[in-house]
Amino acid sequence: MNALDRIDRNILMQLQQDSRLTNVQLAAQVGLSPPACLKRVKRLTEEGYISRQVALVAPHKLGPMLHMVVEVFMERDHKQLFQEFVKSIQATPEIKQCYQVTGEVDFVLIVMVRDMEAYEKLCDRLLYSNPNVRKFRTLISMKRDKFETAIELE
């Protein structure tokens, strides 16, 4: 079931760096004929290795943008409540990432907003009004020094 050979990993590495490669280019890179290569890409997509292909847009080109790292402390460690919270996070487009962590903090959120006002509104809507959120701490970032989506395939 889970057996990616060297060629599959090579394909994934290439496409993680640049998915605009044409299939003929990719095929040449990995040493296959275009149809054989296409079949693999299709298989990797169907089997969920490639979840999707997207364009990454440069945030700073669209005016000022604030990134927030938010640590959320919940009232109780209750699965049901966590799931509900995650649901509300998934429905909030400004929240780009959510990590469930172990320790004192329960969730870490990565939020992208235009300004403080937008962030405060978000907090009102999602955190202050949620009885299961005990408290949260915000780290404000005006500089994202690195953003890489690729995964190491050793």
The encoded tokens of residue 12 equal 């994934």
d(CA 12, CA 43): 12
Is residue 38 at the binding interface for its own copies, with CB under 8 A as the rule?
A: no
- 62: number of CA atoms within 13 Å, CB side? 10
Is residue 89 at the binding interface for its own copies, with CB under 8 A as the rule?
A: yes
Choices 23-31, 54-62, 94-102, 107-115 (CB under 7 A): range interacting with DNA: 23-31
Q: Please list every residue from 32 through 91 that binds DNA, using CB under 7 A.
A: 32-36, 38-40, 42
Is residue 25 at the binding interface for DNA, with CB under 7 A as the rule?
A: yes
Q: Report which secondary-structure segment, H or E, holds 69.
A: strand 66-74
- Hunting for tokens 């408290």 — which residue is that? 135
**Contact set with DNA (CB under 7 A):** 7, 22-25, 31-36, 38-40, 42
